[in-house]
Amino acid sequence: MKINVKEIEWLMMEQCLSLNKLAQNSSVSKATISRILNCDVNPRPDTVGKIAKALEINPRKLYLEN
């Protein structure tokens, strides 16, 4: 499944979260989040779950529909 990078970026803007703060809140490394946002990697489901929890949304909202 593909990740909806734009959704993550919008949520970060709405919540005034920097990449560093999202990494800290999600316990996912800044490098990993950066690679996800640059579409360099397709994250594991548990990583998506951690990011979604930090953004206070359902993980399903971060996946693109086929």
Which domains, from first to last, does the chain contain? 5-59 (1.10.260.40)
Phi then psi for residue 24, to 5 deg, are -65, -45
Q: What is the pLDDT of residue 13?
A: 97
Alpha-carbon distance 49 to 60, whole Å? 9
pLDDT digits (tens, 9 = 90+) for 4-19: 999 999 999 999 999 9
Q: Which tens digit of pLDDT belongs to each residue from 32-42?
A: 999 999 999 99
Model pTM score: 0.93
